[in-house]
Amino acid sequence: MTPSSSDIGSRRLDLAGTRDFHVAGAGPARRAALSRFNREWLAEVWRSATGGNRYEGVALAAVGSLGRGDAGPLSDYDLVLLHSERSVPSKEVAALAERIWYPIWDAGVRLDHSVRTVTQCRQVAADDLTAAVGLLDLSHVAGAEEVVAAARSTVAHDWRGNARKRLPQLVESVAARHARQGDLAQSIEPELKEAHGGLRDMTVLAALAEAWLADRPHGSVDAAYALLLDVRDAVHVVTGRGRDRLGREDHDAVAALLGYEEADDLLTAVSGAGRLIAFALDGTLRRAGQSQRARTLRVGPRRPQMTPLGHGLFASDGEVVLGSSRLAETDEGMAMRAAVVAARAHLPIAPATLENLASAAPPLPTPWTPAVRDLFGDVLATGAGLAVVWEGLDQVGVVERWLPEWRDVRSRPQRSAVHRHTVDRHLVETVIRAAGLVRRTSRPDLLLVAALLHDIGKVRGAHDHSVTGAELTRRIVSRWGFGEEDVETLVRLVREHLTLIELATRRDHQDPATVDAAIAAAGGDREVFEILLALTEADASAAGPQAWTDWRATLLEQLAVAVRERLEAPRPAAGEPPARTDASAVGTHLAPEVVDAVRAGTPHVAVISGGGSHRIDIVDLDRVGLFADTAGLLAAEGHTVRTAILRTLDGVAVDEWHVESPSGAVPDPERIVRGLTRLAHGDRGPLQTLDRRRAHLPRPSKDAGVGSPGQARALVVPGASSEATVLEVRAQDRPGLLHELGAALATAGISVRSAHIATYAGQTLDTFYVTGTDGRPLPPPRVAQAVSIVIDTCDGVAPS
C-alpha cells in the first residue's frame, strides 16, 4: 500500500531532523537517507500504480535534485514516465501516469511531471536548453532500467555532439539568469539556487564537464556546494516550505540550526561559498570556450597565440598567463605585476598562473620596500579591471599575504540599507571609484590606500568601525613601509572617512561650526581635506545609488566650497574671530523688483534642476509656519525634501530647498507660488492631497509591539552650532512628517532655521537647526520642550 499522503511531508522533515544538523558529514548522510526514502516511496507508488504487473519498456525516472540525489527535505519531485515507442499503447501509458501522479499530489508534494519516449526526450533536449541540461541528470527510480539508460546516454551523446552550437546558448542563458537573480555572494537575502554562485551553477558546471569541453574544479568547490545544500535544507526545516531564498527573517534560526554563533557568520560562509562557485563557473566557461575554439579553428596541433604584455606575462585566449613559472619564484613583486598587467588589459589571470603566483612567490619584505609599495599603488590605480583580477588573487590567498587583516572582512555582510556589497567587495569597489578621482589630489597613493582600508574595521565585535579601522590602519601601513607623516594622514583619513558626508547631509554647511568640524577632520590641511573629499565621494558612490544621489553630491560640494573659502581666507589677527561668509548675504543679490513683489504679497520661486534633484529658491515674506507650509506644499506636489536652508533678511525669507522627485516631474515655480499665496491667506486647499494621503495611513504608536521600530528619538547635538540649537531626529518616515514637525514647532514659537533630511529603509535621520523668536539658541527649558514636541509629533501624539 502507498503510505498515507499526510505522512510524507512530516516524514521527509523528520529525516532532515534537527539533531546534529551542523555536525561534519551530517549533510551528505542526511541527503542520502532522504534520497533513499524518496526513491523507496516512489517505488511503492509505482508498485501500487502497476498492480504488480510488469510493464515492458516502461520506467519511472527522476531529474533535477531528485535525480542527482541532493534533494532537500521539501524539494519538489521532477519525474518522467519513460516508455519505448511500441511497448505499451499510449492510452494505457497515460492511465498509468495518472495512477502515479495522483498519489504524489495527494501527498502534498510539488510535482513537475512528463510522459515521454526516448525519441521525445531527444527532441525536447534538442529544442530546449534547460530541458537538455536537466535530462543529463536522468536517473532510474522504478521499472525498465534499460529505457532510462538509453534515454540518458542518447541525450548525453547529443549534448557532446552539439557542444559547439549549445555552448553560446548556455553562456547566454546563464548570463540572463544571473542578471535576473543577482549575485549570491553580495545579497543579504541570497537566492540559493538561481543566483550567480548558486546551486544551479553547479549543474551548469556538471553539464560543461559532460560535454567534454572542460573539467570542473572539485575540492573546495564541492565543499561550497555542500554548504549551500545544508543552508537550503535548514531553510526548508525552519520555514516548513520548499524555499530556496534565505530570507532576512530566517537568518537567526538557520544560523542556530547550522551551529553558527550569529547570523553574520552564516552569511559570511554563504557568501564565501557563492564566490567560490561563481569563480569556478566563470573560469570553467572560459575553459570551455577555449576548448571549443581549439577544436574548430584548425585541425591538428595548435600553438597558442601569445601576445606579450611585459614582465614575462602574455595575453592568451582571453586570459593573462605567465611565460615561465620560474619568474614567480624569483620576483617578489610578480603577483602585483601580473595584477597590474591583467587589470589594465581587462583580462582575468589564468587559473594555472594564479596557482603559480600563490605557491611559488617569495615572501614580501617587512616593511615593504618603496619599489613594492609603488607597485602596489599601481595595482590599486588600475580602475575597473581590478575587480575580477583581485577576486582571482583573493581566491588563491595572495591578497591575504599582502593584507592578513583582509580575512576578517572577507565576505562579511553589511546590513545597512545603503550598501549593495559585502565589506571586502565594497572596499575594492571604492578603490575602483577612487582611481577615477586621483587627479583631484597630489597624493593619489594615499587616496587609494585609504579607499582600500577605510572599512577594514568592520570586523566582528567592532563598536565603531572607523576607530577600529584607524587602529588597524596604523599597523598595516607601517608594515607597508609608509613614513610617519603618511601613516598619520592615512590613520586620519580612515578615522574621519564618514565625517564629511555626515556634515554635508546632516549639518548646515553655512554654519561656522560645521565648517570648523570639516576642517578639524582634515587636521587643518588643505591637501588632506581634498583627499578626504575624494575618499568620501568614492565611498558613497561605491556603496550604491541610495548613498550617492544628486542631492548628496550637491551638498558635499557646497560644504567643500565653504571649507575651501575658509582655508584660503587670510588668517585673522591674534584675538580676532575668524572671518565668515554671512549666509544672509544672498539676499543682497536679489533684484529690487523681486523684493518689491514679495513685499507686496507675491512669493518668488526659481527652480534649478540637475539630474534627478532640484534646487528650489523661495523668497517670501517671513511668517510663523512658512517652513511647515512650504514642506507640506512640496510633499503634496510629490516632491521629497532633502535639505531646507532658511534665512531671513529684513523680514524677507530667502529659503533654499533641495528636493527629489520620484515621479520624475520637475517642480513648477508658478504652481508653488500659487500654493504659497493661498496658504499665506489661510486657504488649506493646496494641502488636501497630502491630507488625503495621510488619512489612509496607520498612525504610529508607542506601543506598536515586537518588531516595531519603537518610539522616535530626538537628540540634542552639543557644540554643533553657536547660532542655533541642533536636534537630530530618528523616526519612522511617513508622507508629510516634515510638514507636521514644522507646524508643531511653529505653534510653540520655535523657528526652524535649516533642516537636513535623510531617509533609509523607511526611517528618517533628520537634523533641525532651531531658534527662538529672538533668533538665538533655545534655553534649556525650551530645548526640553522642543525635544518633547518632536518626539510626540513623530509618534503621532496629538499636542496637549
Among candidate residues 343, 353, 348, 428, the one with its CA nearest the CA of residue 379: 343
Average pLDDT of span 40-66: 90
Whether 403 and 427 have beta carbons less than 8 Å apart is answered as: no
Cβ distance 750 to 772 under 8 Å?
A: yes
Summarised one tens digit per residue, pLDDT across range 482-503 is 999 999 999 999 999 999 999 9
Residue pointed to by grid coordinates 527532441: 123
Closest CA to 519 of 492, 546, 486: 492
Predicted pLDDT at 16: 66
Q: What is the pLDDT of residue 587?
A: 45
**pLDDT in the model for residue 318:** 87
The C-alpha cell of 583 is what? 549666509
Burial 381-405 (b: 16+ CB within 10 A, else e): bbbebbbbbbbbbbbbebbebbbeb
- Would you place residue 704 in the very low, low, confident or very high pLDDT band (cuts 50, 70, 90)? very low
676 three-state secondary structure: helix
C-alpha cell at 201: 551553477
The chain-wide mean pLDDT, for the chain, equals 87
pLDDT at 569: 67
Find out whether 635 and 735 touch, Cβ atoms under 8 Å. yes
- Residues 469 and 405: their CA atoms lie apart, in Å, by 10
Closest CA to 204 of 160, 158, 164, 171: 171
DSSP β-ladder status, 77-83 and 111-117: parallel
Give tens-digit pLDDT for 578-606: 444 443 444 446 788 888 899 998 999 99
The 10s digit of each residue's pLDDT in 257-311 is: 999 999 999 999 999 999 999 999 998 998 888 776 665 545 555 566 788 888 8
Hey, what amino acid is at 524? G
218: which residues sit within 8 A by CB, 6+ positions away? none
pLDDT-derived band of residue 575, with 50, 70 and 90 as boundaries? Answer: very low
In DSSP terms, 81 is beta-bridged to: 60, 115
Lowest-pLDDT choice from 222-226, 646-650, 725-729: 646-650
- Percentage of the chain exceeding pLDDT 90: 56
The predicted-structure confidence for 249-266, as pLDDT tens digits, reads as follows: 999 999 999 999 999 999
Q: What is the DSSP letter of 511?
A: S
Lowest mean pLDDT among 450-459, 619-628, 709-718: 709-718
Half-sphere exposure of residue 71: CA atoms within 13 angstroms, side-chain side: 28
Concatenate the DSSP letters of all residues of 534-567 into one string.
Answer: HHHHHHHHHH-TTTS-HHHHHHHHHHHHHHHHHH
From CA 209, how far away is CA 324, in angstroms rounded? 28
Give first-to-last CA distance, the chain, whole Å: 73
How does 440-469 read in b/e, with b if 16+ C-beta sit within 10 Å? ebebbbbbbbbbbbbbbbbbeebeebbebb
pLDDT tens string 388-445: 999 999 999 999 999 999 999 999 999 877 788 999 999 999 999 999 999 888 899 9
CA angle 523, 525, 527 (to 5 degrees): 130
Cβ partners under 8 Å of residue 572, min gap 6: 578, 579
Put the strands of the sheet holding 111-117 in their side by side order: 111-117, 77-83, 58-63, 139-143
What's the average model confidence in pLDDT over 39-66? 90
> Coil, strand or helix: which one is 64?
helix
CA-to-CA distance for 310 and 291, rounded, in angstroms? 26
Burial of 349 (0-12, 13-18, 19+ CB in 10 A): buried
Q: What DSSP line would sit under 555-609, residue for residue?
A: HHHHHHHHHHHHHHSPPPPTTPPPP---GGGGGGGS-HHHHHHHHTT--EEEEEE
Q: What is the pLDDT of residue 163?
A: 84
Helix (H) or strand (E) holding 351: helix 351-360
Span of 119-128, 567-576, 770-779 with lowest mean pLDDT: 567-576
Instruction: Judge contact between 658 and 615, C-beta under 8 A.
Output: yes
- The pairing of strands 725-732 and 713-716 is antiparallel
- Work out whether strand 307-310 and strand 139-143 pair parallel, antiparallel, or are unpaired: unpaired
Query: Cell 511531471 belongs to which residue?
Result: 113
CB 77 within 8 A of CB 66: yes
Cα 307 from Cα 383, distance rounded (Å): 22
- Which of 465, 460, 22 lies closest to 264 in space, CA to CA? 460
What gap in Å lies between CA 470 and CA 82, rounded to an integer? 65
Q: Which residues of 547-586 are buried (b: 16+ CB within 10 A; e: fewer)?
A: bbbbbbbbbbebbbebbeebeeeeeeeeeeeeeeeebeeb
pLDDT of residue 578: 44
> Could you give all domains of the chain from N- to C-terminal order, each with its CATH number?
5-161 (3.30.460.10), 165-296 (1.20.120.330), 403-568 (1.10.3210), 584-794 (no CATH)
Q: What is this structure's pTM? A: 0.81
Instruction: Give CA 157 to chain center in angstroms.
Output: 41
Alpha-carbon radius of gyration of the chain:
33
- 264 alpha-carbon distance from chain centroid: 15
Residue with grid cell 537628540, as numbered in its chain? 715
Rounded distance between C-alpha atoms, residue 466 and residue 595, angstroms? 48
Closest CA to 313 of 277, 283, 352: 352
Does residue 213 have a pLDDT over 60?
yes
> Considering the chain, what percentage of its residues have pLDDT values greater than 70?
90
pLDDT of residue 708: 46
- The closest of 264, 270, 284, 251 to 186, measured between CA atoms, is 270
Burial class, 13, CB count within 10 angstroms (exposed 0-12 / middle 13-18 / buried 19+): middle
Characterize the bridge pairing of strands 613-621 and 640-649: unpaired
Instruction: Give the separation between CA 165 and CA 210, rounded to whole angstroms.
Output: 15
Nearest Cα residue to 741 out of 660, 628, 657: 628
What pLDDT was estimated at residue 589?
63
**Contact call for residues 491 and 452 (beta carbons, < 8 A):** no
Inform me whether the pLDDT recorded for 9 exceeds 80.
no
The answer to whether the beta carbons of residues 631 and 644 sit under 8 Å apart is yes
Amino acid at 190: P
Q: How far is CA 607 from CA 595, 617, 659, 666, in A?
A: 18, 6, 10, 8
The closest alpha carbon to 224, from 192, 272, 185, 259, belongs to 272
For 98-164, give the DSSP string.
Answer: HHHHHHHHHTT--EEEEEEEHHHHHHHHHH-HHHHHHHTT-EEEEE-HHHHHHHHHHHHHHHHHTHH
Q: What is the mean pLDDT of residues 696-714?
A: 58
CA 199 to chain centre: 20
pLDDT, residue 697, reads 58
- Most confident of the ranges 15-19, 164-168, 607-611, 768-772: 768-772
- Residue with grid cell 582600500, as numbered in its chain: 452
